[in-house]
C-alpha cells in the first residue's frame, strides 16, 4: 500500500486526482482527495495502533486526538501542546483517507487474483466517527484573540478564566475519541503481510527518502545474504522508470542520481537497520543502488529463523 505511486511526497502542488505507473508497470490511481505525507503518516500510525490493539479482524479501533497528536507532533504522550494547525492536519488527513477512492490495476483485492485487465476500486478507511466538539477546539485565531490585549474601554480578561477555558478544551481533546474502521481489503493485507512498517522511523524521513525507504522495505524478501555474517544486500539498476517512481524528474540524469544518493544517506542516518545504502557505477557503465541491511535471528518452535531487521529507528 505504502509503495503505491499515488502518494504525493514532495514539494509539488497537491492534486485530488492522480494517476501514475509503479515500478512493475501497473497503473494506480487516487481520486477524490489528495494523499500526501500527513495522510501517509496518519495511516501508518493507525496501522501501528491497530496492531497494538490486538489486530481486530473487523478493522475497528478507537483512539484520542491527543494520543495521535502526541505521537505525530510531540516527543511523548505527555509532551505535546496542541495547536489549531495540528488539529486541522489530523482531521484533514483522516477525512482524506476516508474520502479517497483508490484504483489498483491488475488485481482483485477480495481474493488476490491477478490479471492484466482487472481493476479494484477501494477506500482506505471505511468509516470515521468522531466528536464535532473537537472542531471548536481553540485554533490559532482563537489563541490570538485570547492573547491580544483588550481595549482600554473593556474590562481586562481574567487570566484564571482563560486558563480554565484552555484546560477544559484540552481535557475534551484528551477525552474525546475517534473511531475508524480500516477497509476489509486492507485488513486482509495486514493479516497476511510479512512486513510491519515502523512509523517512528518513517516520521524522520520525507520526500524521496521516505519513498525509497518504503520501497526497500517492500523488497525485503529479495535481500540476499552476503559473505559477511549477519548481513543481506539488494541491488537495483537505476533507470528512468525507477527515478520516476521516486518522483525524481530532473532534466539531467546525474541530478536525479545525486538526489537519490542524498535520500539514501538520510535513510542510513534515520534507520539503524541499514548498514549502507549507496549509488555507484559498475563496469558495464550502469549505475546501481545497493542496500545492505542487518539480519537478526529469532528463536521459534522450529529453531532459529533468520529475518531482516526492519525499521529499527
Three cell numbers written together for 33: 482527495
Positions of E strands within the chain: 17-21, 27-31, 60-64, 101-107, 114-122, 125-129, 177-182, 224-225, 231-237, 274-281, 287-300, 303-308
Q: What is the pLDDT of residue 180?
A: 96
In this structure, what are the phi and psi dihedrals at residue 90, rounded to the nearest 5 degrees? -65, -45
pLDDT for 298 equals 42
Tell whether the model's pLDDT for residue 240 goes beyond 60: yes
Pair 301, 282: CB distance under 8 Å: no
**Nearest CA-CA partner of 3 in 17, 18, 24:** 24
**Predicted pLDDT at 292:** 97
Name the percent of the chain lying above pLDDT 70.
64
Res 155: pLDDT:
52
CB 271 within 8 A of CB 312: yes
Does position 236 have pLDDT exceeding 90, yes or no? yes
Does residue 68 or residue 296 have the better pLDDT?
68
How would you classify residue 94: left for phi > 0, otherwise alpha for psi between -120 and 50, otherwise beta? alpha
The per-residue pLDDT for range 7-61, each reduced to its tens digit, is 555 555 555 555 555 544 455 556 666 677 788 888 889 988 999 999 999 999 9
Whole-number pLDDT of residue 190: 85
Grid cell of 129 as nine digits: 466517527
- pLDDT value at residue 265: 96
Q: Alpha-carbon distance 216 to 195, whole Å? A: 11
Q: CA 246 to CA 24: how far, in whole Å?
A: 13
Chain segment 70-86, per-residue pLDDT in tens: 888 775 445 556 677 88
Q: What is the mean pLDDT of the chain?
A: 75
The sign of the dihedral angle between the CA atoms of 242, 244, 246, 252 is positive
Distance (Å, whole) CA 155 – CA 135? 29
Given this model, what pLDDT does residue 3 score? 47
The C-alpha cell of 312 is what? Answer: 529499527
Sort residue 106 into left (φ over 0), alpha (ψ -120 to 50) or beta.
left
Q: Phi-psi bin for 311: left (phi > 0), alpha (psi -120 to 50), beta?
A: left
Sorting pLDDT into bands at 50, 70 and 90, what band is 260?
very high
pLDDT at 91 over 60: yes
pLDDT digits (tens, 9 = 90+) for 124-160: 899 999 876 544 444 444 444 444 555 555 455 555 5
Predicted confidence (pLDDT) per residue in 185-232, tens digit? 889 888 876 445 677 787 788 888 988 988 888 788 789 999 999 999
> pLDDT: is 105 or 126 the higher one?
126
Per residue, the 3-state secondary structure of 73-107, as one string, reads: HCCCCCCCCCCHHHHHHHHHHHHHHHHCEEEEEEE
Q: Looking at residues 284-311, what average pLDDT do you find? A: 65
Please, which residues have CB within 8 angstroms of residue 151's CB and are 6 or more apart in sequence? none
Answer yes or no: is pLDDT of 276 > 80: yes
Amino acid at each position: 500500500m505504502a509503495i503505491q505511486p499515488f502518494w504525493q511526497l514532495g514539494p509539488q502542488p497537491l492534486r485530488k486526482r492522480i494517476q501514475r505507473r509503479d515500478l512493475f508497470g501497473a497503473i494506480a490511481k487516487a481520486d477524490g482527495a489528495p494523499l500526501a505525507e500527513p495522510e501517509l503518516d496518519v495511516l501508518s500510525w493507525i496501522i501501528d495502533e491497530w496492531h497494538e490493539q490486538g489486530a481486530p479482524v473487523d478493522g475497528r479501533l478507537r483512539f484520542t486526538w491527543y494520543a495521535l497528536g502526541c505521537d505525530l507532533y510531540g516527543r511523548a504522550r505527555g509532551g505535546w501542546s496542541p495547536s489549531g494547525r495540528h488539529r486541522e492536519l489530523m482531521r484533514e488527513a483522516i477525512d482524506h483517507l476516508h474520502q479517497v477512492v483508490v484504483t489498483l490495476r491488475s488485481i482483485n483485492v477480495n481474493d488476490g487474483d491477478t490479471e492484466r485487465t482487472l481493476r479494484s476500486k477501494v477506500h482506505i478507511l471505511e468509516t470515521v466517527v468522531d466528536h464535532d466538539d473537537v472542531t471548536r477546539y481553540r485554533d490559532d485565531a482563537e489563541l490570538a484573540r485570547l492573547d491580544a490585549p483588550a481595549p482600554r474601554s473593556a474590562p481586562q480578561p481574567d487570566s484564571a478564566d482563560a486558563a480554565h477555558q484552555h484546560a477544559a478544551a484540552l481535557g475534551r481533546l484528551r477525552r474525546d475519541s475517534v473511531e475508524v474502521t480500516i477497509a476489509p481489503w486492507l485488513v486482509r493485507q495486514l493479516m497476511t503481510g510479512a512486513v510491519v512498517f515502523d512509523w517512528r522511523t518513517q516520521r524522520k524521513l520525507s520526500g524521496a527518502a521516505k519513498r525509497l525507504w518504503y520501497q526497500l522495505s517492500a523488497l525485503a524478501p529479495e535481500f540476499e545474504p552476503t559473505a559477511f555474517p549477519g548481513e543481506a544486500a539488494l541491488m537495483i539498476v537505476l533507470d528512468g522508470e525507477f527515478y520516476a517512481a521516486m518522483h525524481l524528474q530532473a532534466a539531467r540524469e546525474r541530478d536525479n542520481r545525486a538526489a537519490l544518493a542524498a535520500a539514501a544517506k538520510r535513510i542510513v542516518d534515520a534507520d539503524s537497520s541499514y548498514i549502507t545504502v549507496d549509488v555507484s557505477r559498475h563496469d558495464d557503465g550502469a549505475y546501481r543502488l545497493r542496500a545492505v541491511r542487518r539480519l537478526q535471528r529469532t528463536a521459534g518452535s522450529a529453531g532459529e529463523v533468520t529475518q531482516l531487521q526492519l525499521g529499527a529507528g
